[in-house]
Each structure stands twice: as structure tokens, then as C-alpha cells.
Chain A
Amino acid sequence: MHSRSSLALSLAVMVVSGAGTIAALDWPLKAKLFPMVIGIPLFCLAAAEVAWILLSKAPEEKAAEGEVPPLVARRRSLLGVGWILGLLASVVLLGFPIAVPLFVFLYLKLQGREGWIFSAVFTAAVWGAFYGLFDWLLHLPFPTGWLVAWLGFS
């Protein structure tokens, strides 16, 4: 159990429940009853957890990550987060129909280190399935990305 993560979470909960309770004070009774009945104990519990962590200073458990040493684990975690954020950015900027094949291809090539042909074929298969199912069959709408719209395509 990593106490730093727990500290972060509990502090966040304190902030949220504290701010929420203050905001709720102005509301009519019926609107504020539940938020206060939940928010105040929540704040106290989170505060208790924070106090526990700060006061106990138990030795940080060296995570037994299995085969992956902690530094490598951290680097890869950040990489994973980066890819996820990258997908979000490309979805918003380029739109799903472009972002999806682009992401799949780049991930296979850069992270997976697969060959060109395999990556291309796999991407094509994924894109085909995506298009066939979501667009052609279900007519689910995916808006054009901001960048694409700005550049004048549609």
C-alpha cells in the first residue's frame, strides 16, 4: 500500500468534501441535507486517514512488482499515461475516424516495435472493423476533429 497515493487521494477527498460542504451551506434545506450528511463525515474520515499517514511514518513498502523493477515500472507507467493522453488529444484534434488508425499504427510501430507490414495490416483490420460497425451499421456520429475543421476539411 503506497502511502503517497493514499495521501494524495485523502487530501483530494478532504478538499472536495470541504469545498462542497461550504458551497452547500447556502442551499435550501432539502437540497443541502444529503450533501452535508455525507460530506461532513467524509471530510472527517479523510482527515483521519491523512493524520494516520503523516503520524505513522511507516517504512515505505518496497513494492514487489513481480519481475519489473520500480524505476522501469515508473517509466513505463508514464509512457502509458502519455499514450492515453495522446489518444485523447488526437481524438479531439483529428476526430475518431483519423485518430483511431493513426493511434493503432503508431502504437504498434513505436511501442510494440512490430514490422511495417504487420502494423499496416493490423491497423487496416482494426479500422475496417471500427468503420463497418460504428459508422456503416450503427450510424453513430463522430464529429470532425478541431484541427481538421479549422483546416477546412469536413
Chain B
Amino acid sequence: MLEALLQGLLAVLQVKAFSFMLLGILVGFWVGLLPGLGGATTLALMLPFIYNMQPVEAFAFLLGMHSVVATTGDITSVLFGVPGEATTAAIILDGYSMTKKGQAGRALGAALTSSLIGALIGAAALALAVPIVRPLVLTFGSPELFMLAVVGLAFIASLSAQGVRGMVRGFIAGGTGLYLAMVGQDPQAGVARFTFDTLYLAQGIDLVPVLVGLFAIPEIIELVVRGSSIAGTTKPGRIEGALEGVKDVFRNGWLTIRCSLIGTFVGIMPGMGGAVAQWMAYGHATQSARTPEEREGFGNGDVRGVLGPGAACNSKEGGALIPTIAFGVPGSTSMAILLGGFFLLGLVPGPEMLTTHLSVTFSMVWTIVLANVITVALCFLLLNRLARLTTLPGHLLIPVILVLVFIGSYTTNSSYADLVVTLISGAVGYLMVRAGYPRAPLVLGLVLGKIAENYLYISVARYDAAWLLRPFVLVLLAVALGVVLYPFFQLWRARNRARA
């Protein structure tokens, strides 16, 4: 295995492969940055170009591009409050708040550093998991996946404000998200649920238009109201440096590592989708608040709310490669397209990738590592310039951001209906912000709703009730209960401390 590790590295360092990786990074940089482009669509568009490349080169290009998207997507989210990618929305809550306080540099520094660490951990997981990958993935069946979805939904409690009223609002938001996830044709009886007989809703509500509307539109309106630059009244030239952000990541080292592991784990689970990991990591980060006041600080610029999702978002990529390579089951849409690339190059995902073609697998690991290191380095060089954009007058940025938001929403399905969805989500998001409802649970519900339903039905159909007693199911159930009860525990502990 060590041989393959070395071989993989040497393969990536060859001039041709390396330059293709750089090209991929260049493309991915812009794809992640612009909210108008989804990583998945662009991957599909790039596929034709890799026909004449060797496998290692082609993957250097595709993976180089793909690894970078999550990192630069964070930049857009932090600086402008617009999700650069569907997978980088969670970081907006605290990242953008920090930017509004003039701490853009620090937020970016934290986001980039945590992204790098997350990517490294994800890549390491991929490399280390090679011997145990197949048994690992095979142990997790539909019951376990259902329970994992339940754990994800349990985070709704953590993501809600404290106190009973806060919980009620959080669960209303989460329930609404779950309800929205029910729209579309159900896979059990084929009934068209809540579609109002329209074709648009027949396949369900897409995440991107909702996400973009929910987060970007309220921020844009707020920017219009303030009439200033994003950074507000902070004088340009006093933007806190990125170095502080880097230090923050190391100050919260264990949290960063835990969030990376969450990301990797969720990434490994086939069928969980790409958007979940960041929210679970964010929820976990909020659990590290020690007092109710600290907890209130989340959503208003706590750096832990930046480094949690930042790390998880990148670490999940390494994890998602595992089921893709070992089983040909893609962990996300972009993985599905990567898979297409596999076939094009004559590689069959499966046991051979972990034995005969092990060095190709390792070259993918190295590509992720190198691509992320290069990207983060590049971003740091550009960081201060990027942060300075937040001091530009708002009215210069608003039209550009708004146009990108519209394009990003429209190009999901080439449909005007998506624009309508974005605006409605925008209205809802705006009201939620004013009413103090957390938006994170809504997204979580929307993302996990179908997964939870489908896997529950599969579990019951296949195992009747026996699946409830499977060991991992019980473990995950305990985790879910722990997650739900933790906020109450936090409150109780804080009260005890206050009394003491």
C-alpha cells in the first residue's frame, strides 16, 4: 500500500497531470465563486475535454476543479452573504455577520484555514479507509441511513434559539422544511403530492433556488436599507487581518477536527447528499457555546460558526469519493458526473480500484490535498484585496449580486418558475429574519425530508420491525437523543454555574 501511495504522488507531480490540475483549479475557482454556476453543471460541461487525457491527468483536472469549488464558494458566502454553492450556505450565518462588522479578513482567514484542514482530514480518511472501505460501507444499510437522517434532523434543536419559545420556532421552521420536502411524486404509491397539478412541482422543490432566495434576498434588502458598504461603518484600512482567523482555527483545534470528521462521515454515507454535512457541523459548533449569551452570539459573528461548516464542507469531498470509487455509488450529483468520467476512461469503480488500480485512487487523494493547498495559498494572497470589496459602496455590488443570484437560480432548471421560487423564499427568509426564526432548520428539513422518508419505508418493507434493534441503529438513536437534549443540558449547566 505504501508503494501505491508513493506511486500515486509521483503520478500527480508529473508535468502534464500537474498542469491539468492547475487548469482545473483555475476553472473551479470561478465556479465556486460565482453563485450563478453549480459545480455539478460545470463538471458535466468539462467532461468532453477530458476525452484525450490519460486517466491520471483527467482526474487531476476534474478533481482539481471539484476540490476547489467548496473553498471558493465559502468566499462568496462570507463576503457577500450569497451562497456560492449549495454546500456553502451554513457559513453565511456567522461568516457574513463577521463581514458586516468589518471582520471580513478574519472570517476569510478562518474559513480558508478550516477548509484546508477539512480537506486534509477528508483525504487522509480516504487514504486510511482503503482497506476497510468495503466492509464499512456495506455495514451501513437503509436503517442506519434513516437513523443518520434522524440525527441530522435532531440538530434542528441545536440550531434553534434557546428556551421553549425558541424551540417552538425552530421546530416550526424545521417542520416547514420537511413539509416542503414532501412535494413531488412519492416513490411508494406514485401519488403526486402537493403539486397543484403543475409540471414544475412534479419532481419536487429544488434546493438551490430556495437556498439562494432564503439567504441572499434578505441580505440584499438589508444592504439597500443600510445604504452603506457591506462592512458598514468600519473605515477601510481597519479590516482585521486574516492571521487572526487562522489563529482562531487553531485555538479551536478540536472543534475543527470534530467538524471535519462529521463531514467525512456524512460524505461516506451514500445517498445523504452534499448539503447536509455543513449544517450538522454548524449545529455541533453551536453546542460548544458555554453560556446562553455565547449561544446567542452564534448567527451574529462567532468565528466557530465559520470554521465548523468550512471544515465539514471540504472534508466531505474526501469522504464522498469513497462510495464513488469503491462501489460506483455517487455520494452527490457532482460525484455522479465524476463517475461518468470514470467510465469514459475505462475504469470500473469497484474492488479493482482498491487493489489493481490502487495508485490511481491514491493519486486522487494527492490531487485533493495538493489542489486544496494551492487554492488556499492563492486565496490568502488575494485575501486582503477580496476583503476590500466589502468596503465598496453597496449600490455597486447590489446589482451584480442580484443578477448573479437570478442567473444562479434560473440555470438550475432553465425555468422561470425557479425565479418565482427564489423570490417567494426570499420573502419568507426576510420575514424569518425579522421574526427571529432560524433559517437553518428549514434547510435541514428540506434536505433530509425525502431521505428520511424513503429510507424508513425501505427499512420497514425489508426488515419489518427488526431493524430497530440493529447495533448501529441503536447507537445513532442514542446520538440523536443526545443531540436533541444537549441544548437543554447546556441551559441547565449554565444555570448551575450561575448559581455557584
Contact = CB atoms under 8 A, between A and B. Distances in A.
Interface of A: 1-3, 5-6, 8-10, 13, 16-17, 20, 23-24, 27-28, 30-31, 34-35, 38-39, 41-42, 45-46, 48-49, 52, 65-68, 73, 76-77, 79-81, 83-85, 87-88, 91-92, 96, 100, 103-104, 107-108, 111-114, 122, 126, 130, 133-134, 138, 140-142
Contacts of B221: 77, 80-81, 84
Given A80-B225, A88-B423, A91-B406, A112 B395 contact: yes
B199 to A, nearest CB: 17
Contacts of B220: 80, 84
A130 B416 CA distance: 18
Nearest to A35: B182
B431 interface: yes
B434 A130 contact: no
B4 to A, nearest CB: 37
Nearest to B225: A76
Interface of B: 30, 34, 36-37, 42, 45, 165, 168-169, 171-172, 175-176, 178-179, 182, 186, 188-189, 191, 193-194, 217, 220-221, 224-227, 232-233, 393, 395-396, 398-400, 402-403, 406-407, 410-411, 414, 416, 419-420, 423, 426, 428, 431-432, 434-437, 449, 453, 457
B175 A38 contact: yes
A106 B402 CA distance: 13
B346 to A, nearest CB: 28
Which of B171, B193, B403 counts the most A-chain CB atoms under 10 A from its CB? B403
B172 A46 contact: yes
B139 to A, nearest CB: 26
Contacts of A83: 224, 402
A130 B453 contact: no
A83 B48 CA distance: 40
Contacts of A16: 176, 179
Given A20-B182, A107-B398, A108-B396, 18 more contacts: A6-B169, A9-B431, A13-B172, A16-B179, A27-B193, A31-B188, A35-B182, A38-B182, A42-B172, A45-B168, A80-B221, A81-B221, A83-B402, A96-B410, A104-B399, A104-B403, A112-B396, A114-B395
A139 B457 CA distance: 41
Contact of B36 (A10, A92, A104, A134): A134
Contacts of A39: 179
Nearest to B233: A67
Nearest to A106: B399
A41 B431 contact: no
Of listed A1, A38, A108, residue having the most chain B CB within 10 A: A38
Contacts of B233: 67
A48 B168 contact: yes
A67 B100 CA distance: 14
A49 B36 contact: no
Contact of A49 (B168, B414, B453): B168
Contacts of B224: 76-77, 79-80, 83, 111
A17 B175 CA distance: 9
Contact of B226 (A3, A10, A68): A68
A16 B453 CA distance: 20
B227 to A, nearest CB: 7
Contact of B403 (A34, A126, A140): A126
Nearest to B461: A30
Contacts of B186: 30-31
16 contacts: A6-B169, A6-B435, A8-B435, A9-B437, A27-B189, A30-B457, A38-B175, A42-B179, A45-B171, A48-B168, A49-B169, A80-B220, A91-B406, A122-B396, A134-B36, A134-B407
Nearest to A52: B165
B402 A84 contact: yes
Nearest to B452: A34
Contacts of B165: 52
B406 A34 contact: no
Nearest to A105: B399
Given A35-B179, A107-B399, A28 B189 contact: yes
Nearest to B170: A45
A9 B396 contact: no
Contact of B225 (A8, A13, A73): A73
B179 A38 contact: yes
A135 B395 CA distance: 26
Contacts of B410: 91, 96, 142
Given A73-B225, A83-B224, A8 B431 contact: yes
A63 to B, nearest CB: 9
Nearest to B172: A45
B219 to A, nearest CB: 11
A28 B190 CA distance: 10
A41 B34 CA distance: 39
Contacts of A28: 189, 191
A107 B224 CA distance: 11
Nearest to B34: A133
A41 B174 CA distance: 11
A134 B221 CA distance: 26
Nearest to A10: B172
A31 B217 contact: no
B28 to A, nearest CB: 14
Nearest to A34: B453
Contacts of A30: 186, 188-189, 457
A138 B42 CA distance: 8
A52 to B, nearest CB: 7
A83 B431 CA distance: 18
